[in-house]
Amino acid sequence: MVENGRIQKAFPMDAFLIQGGRRLKGTAVINGSKNAALPILIATLLTDETCTITNVPDLRDISTTYRLLEELGKKVTVTGKTVKVEYRRKLKTKAPYKIVKQMRASILVAGPLLARFGNVRVSLPGGCAIGMRPIDLHLKGFETMGAQSRTEQGDVVLATEGLLAKRVRLTFPSVGATENIMMAAAATSGTTIIDNAAREPEIEDLGNFLTGIGAVVTGAGGKRIKIIGAAKLHGSRHRVIPDRIETGTYLCAVAAAGGDVKLKGAEPKHLEALVAAMKKAGAKISKIPGGMRIVSSGRPKPVSILTKPHPGFPTDVQAPWMAYMALCSGKARVREEIFENRFMHAAELLRMGASIVVDGNTATIRGVPDLSGAEIMASDIRAGAGLIVAALAAHGTTKVGRVYHIDRGYERIEYVLRRLGAKILRVKE
């Protein structure tokens, strides 16, 4: 890989030391979306021509994706936020465990490679801290399109005499399954329909990229997506949408710690459920030219939420939201409807003085007036982000361990927060 830009350097045992209780003020620039950039970078496997992707965030999951593309045969050149993906040699059709185990989204190579070469072998991703995370919906989709699948020595092996454009109905609007099937369909002649598709903004962005390289995708962002595929796709240039989860995390951080911050590049129409909940809690959020502004207003009112597929409340902002609600003036519930085990941060928040009872997929929070600093640990990307939100609002010093989880999804979060006035240091444990 050629790197002409800054690549975030992190060490496995880094921790953050955060001295909380300081108001946040100023402007933060929102990066390109990790969850949009990942499938778009992987979709470059659909063509031998050169694709240039701009506004790509500098994150650990993104560098893992570069390694995956290179392993499969692409040449990747990174210049700042611009990434050029070119032909190097005929692509391999096997994604190895050493990369898949670092990033579950590697399974997305299945769709493009299966459609182009008629076979693919990807190590099974396995579960993770937030749940089992099966891939049955991806596989059912490919089977509907005429592939056979089997598991062999920890790998899923897919083969086909040639995929067929079909109607695929998802029993649940899985983001990954929708993306995988869209990519397979883009390189399959004929019209594929995906019913009950995921409606996340990242799906719409992938649809626009696929249209840019020669497929015709309509309805992405809605429940029914139509993809007219083409046997040969071409190169293109594409700009990644802003990261709505990074935006949501900073909104929760400012609301919890107090302050007045502009988020440059943020897209409010991607975050309607969160913004509605934050306004109910009392935060003042407005659309400003080129972004959003948040002004905090003291202790939040209790607001209960349940996570849902888009346009519902995003599961990826559930942990930052819980940290914010830990300070509410009453009782609020958080119900997690997407992942079966996504409350690992609750136990850490208890160490900071929060009052939270978890029962199955529901957490009941009795707001406390103050949180206090403690030594705590991140268990996944978003749980880690939730702990940072709590630490910024707490009195005293918090040490957040296992920062490598947070580095997977937040670009230089400590620099951004320091510019807003937070006291946060990266230290080696």
Site residues for ligand UD1, window 191-250 (CB under 6 A)? 198, 202
- Using the rule CB under 6 A, is 105 a contact of ligand UD1? yes
From 51, 128, 252, 328, the catalytic residue: 128
Q: Which is nearer to ligand UD1, 321 or 339 (CB)?
A: 339
Using CA atoms, how far apart are residues 378 and 402, in angstroms rounded to an integer? 5
DSSP structural state of residue 96:
-
Q: Which is nearer to ligand UD1, 133 or 399 (CB)?
A: 133
User: Which ranges of 73-218 does DSSP label H, i.e. alpha helix?
Assistant: 97-100, 110-117, 136-144, 175-186, 201-212
- Using the rule CB under 6 A, is 176 a contact of ligand UD1? yes
Cβ 297 to ligand UD1, closest distance in Å?
29
DSSP 374-413: -EEE--SHHHHHHHHHHHHHSBSEEEEE-THHHHTT-TTH
Q: Which is nearer to ligand UD1, 62 or 374 (CB)?
A: 62
Cβ 177 to ligand UD1, closest distance in Å?
5
Residues that bind ligand UD1 (rule: CB under 6 A) add up to a total of 22
Site residues for ligand UD1, window 16-35 (CB under 6 A)? 35
Cβ 289 to ligand UD1, closest distance in Å?
29
Active site residue 128: yes
Tell which one of 99, 137, 158, 228 touches ligand UD1 (CB under 6 A): 137
Distances (CA, A) of 350 to 1, 143, 252: 43, 46, 18
Tell which one of 316, 336, 380, 407 touches ligand UD1 (CB under 6 A): 316
Q: Which is nearer to ligand UD1, 47 or 318 (CB)?
A: 318
Angle of CA points 112, 113, 117, to nearest 5°: 125
Please tell me whether residue 346 adopts helix, strand or coil conformation: helix
Please tell me whether residue 169 adopts helix, strand or coil conformation: strand
Half-sphere exposure of 84 (CA within 13 A, CB side): 11
Contacts with ligand UD1, 257-296, as mask; x by CB under 6 A: ----------------------------------------
Using CA atoms, how far apart are residues 34 and 36, in angstroms rounded to an integer? 5
Stretch in the footprint of ligand UD1 (CB under 6 A) among 158-166, 171-179, 268-276, 385-393? 171-179
Q: Closest residue to ligand UD1, Cβ-based? A: 176
Using CA atoms, how far apart are residues 164 and 169, in angstroms rounded to an integer? 15
Classify strands 331-335 and 305-306 as parallel, antiparallel or unpaired: parallel
- Using the rule CB under 6 A, is 65 a contact of ligand UD1? no
Contact 82, 52 (CB under 8 A): yes
Interaction site with ligand UD1 (CB under 6 A): 35, 38, 105, 131-138, 172, 174-177, 198, 202, 315-316, 338-339
Write out the catalytic residue numbers: 128
